[in-house]
Chains A and B, each alone.
Chain A
Amino acid sequence: MQAGIAVGNLASAIGITTEDAALVADLKVGSEDAFAILIAQYHQPLYSLIARSLNDPVDAADITQEVFIKVFRSIRGFNGESSLRTWLYRIALHEASNQRRWWSRHKKQEITIDSPCESEEDGSTFSIASTLADSGDSPYDYAAQAEVRERVEMALRQLPEAFRNVVILREIEGFAYEEIAEILNINLGTVKSRLTRGRSALRALLLAARTEEVNGSASSSVMRTSKGAVTQ
């Protein structure tokens, strides 16, 4: 099954499909219907990708609009060497990257790619597997899962851009290595290395968040206990 998906992804990475070719031909002549189809098909996944890629997801709608306008302006230059999806994701990530640069200049300094990530060799015996695992479907579990998702989203946002893009494209969007290489215009080896380092960094961030959370709750319980002792 996974192999089948991988082969499909690889095929789409190699070239444009027949359906895409017909759509692209219509887009090139400026058909409004074709653009309506394109928007219906891609606005949600592109928005999601951009929202995750940006530091501030509030800007995601505006960036998505800029992406589609860019597509409208440059569709005549699309030569079909890559799939339409790959091409769209490349534009989306490029626009998101521009926005991030603007954001980092004006709002906040990003974590650089070379900044040392919290190493897994920190001697901690803490495991995140137990806290990230799907434990059930009760309302409590549902709330816990929502909390886990929030924690993962937060950690993802703290990841350096180069790692974050590769991790999102691979783990969330399900692209093959070859497609990621094409979208980000990097070679296959770099994709694998960034994915390895991105996963490690994300794991370290999740561990750190979890440790912080446990320490926070422990100190608050100590405070509650000491407060109780004082009252007595």
Chain B
Amino acid sequence: MISRDCIRIRACFSDYLDGAVSGQQMQEIASHLGACDGCERDFQDLRAMQQSLARLKPAKAPADLGMKLRLAISHEQAARRSSWIDKVSIKWENAVRPMLLQVSAGFAGSVVLVGSIMLLLGMVAAPEPVMANDEPLGAMTSPHYLYSATSPQAIVTGRDSAIVVEAYVNANGRVYDYNIVSGPEDPAVQTQIVNQLLLSVFEPARVFGSPVRSRVVITFSGISVRG
């Protein structure tokens, strides 16, 4: 008859064999084994079995197994490489090759068609006329008034007559000199004219599109008469 203690201790035999029990359990099992012949015999059986398992020699592989394995791996590698090449070649054979003739013929036809159209257009079409917006040779433009930096003010003078001024405009469109052609020449009037001219901006004269110095005749007709 096996006691409960024996059952409990025997359940720990496997862990005890592997040393996977706590110190306290180990002591308990060892003292039980010392006192119980049946458990001691069973444990010795398990230990003997464990030792005999550990003594089992490895099952000897055939001598040529290593070589066979290397050969098998080489075949696998070759199969993998060839399978990649095969995939590409199959795609080429199945998808591209049947269309190759049609694609080539289509491309050649397009080249011929487009070439013919271009040739016909080149032969039949009229030469391009001279563009209307071309700069004519020798073209010169005169300067003209653009704006004044301040709002124009009336020139105050003692006589009611128009003032004609010949202004010299530089390439930047600013007046750099002037000459009163007709009208009063007193200093007060001259100062007013100078102020007006200095604040005026002109579009400069151009020769072949390049701005140049030029002259412009300006008439001041809005005259404010004193008195």
Q: Mark A41-71, 1 if CB is under 8 A from B, else 0.
A: 0011101100110000100110011001100
The interface size of chain A toward B, counting residues with CB under 8 Å, comes to: 50
Instruction: Contact check, A65 vs B68: say whether CB atoms are below 8 A apart.
Output: yes
Dominant secondary structure at the A interface: helix
B123: Cβ under 8 A from any A Cβ? no
CB neighbours (8 Å) of B52 from chain A are 132, 148-149, 152
CB neighbours (8 Å) of B47 from chain A are 129
B42 to chain A, nearest CB (A): 6
A87: Cβ under 8 A from any B Cβ? no
Nearest A-chain residue to B72, judged by Cβ: A65
A121: Cβ under 8 A from any B Cβ? yes
CB neighbours (8 Å) of B54 from chain A are 171-172
Dominant secondary structure at the B interface: helix
Instruction: Contact check, A39 vs B48: say whether CB atoms are below 8 A apart.
Output: no
Instruction: Contact check, B53 vs A43: say whether CB atoms are below 8 A apart.
Output: no
List which B32-86 residues lie within 8 A (CB) of chain A.
41-42, 44-62, 65-66, 68-70, 72-74, 76-77, 80
Instruction: Contact check, B61 vs A64: say whether CB atoms are below 8 A apart.
Output: yes
A213: Cβ under 8 A from any B Cβ? no
A196: Cβ under 8 A from any B Cβ? yes
Q: Mark A112-129, 1 if CB is under 8 A from B, else 0.
A: 000000001100000111
A89: Cβ under 8 A from any B Cβ? no
A79 to chain B, nearest CB (A): 21
Instruction: Contact check, B14 vs A44: say whether CB atoms are below 8 A apart.
Output: no
CB < 8 Å: which of A36, A44, A73, A134 contacts B55? A134
A100: Cβ under 8 A from any B Cβ? no
CA distance A206 to B65 in the complex (A): 32
A91: Cβ under 8 A from any B Cβ? no
CB neighbours (8 Å) of A127 from chain B are 41, 44-45
A199: Cβ under 8 A from any B Cβ? yes
Instruction: Contact check, A43 vs B69: say whether CB atoms are below 8 A apart.
Output: yes
CB neighbours (8 Å) of A207 from chain B are 45
Instruction: Contact check, B53 vs A172: say whether CB atoms are below 8 A apart.
Output: yes
Nearest A-chain residue to B41, judged by Cβ: A127
List which A24-48 residues lie within 8 A (CB) of chain B.
30, 32, 35-36, 39-40, 43-45, 47-48
Seen from chain B, the residues whose Cβ lies within 8 Å of a Cβ on chain A are 2, 11, 13-15, 17-20, 41-42, 44-62, 65-66, 68-70, 72-74, 76-77, 80
Seen from chain A, the residues whose Cβ lies within 8 Å of a Cβ on chain B are 2, 30, 32, 35-36, 39-40, 43-45, 47-48, 51-52, 57, 60-61, 64-65, 68-69, 72-73, 120-121, 127-129, 132-134, 145, 148-149, 152-153, 156, 167, 170-172, 177, 192, 195-196, 199, 202-203, 206-207
* A-B CB contact pairs (8 Å), 30 listed: A32-B77, A35-B70, A39-B66, A47-B59, A47-B61, A48-B61, A57-B59, A60-B59, A65-B72, A68-B73, A69-B73, A72-B76, A120-B42, A127-B41, A129-B45, A132-B48, A132-B52, A134-B55, A149-B52, A167-B53, A171-B54, A172-B54, A177-B18, A196-B13, A199-B14, A199-B17, A199-B46, A199-B50, A203-B45, A206-B49
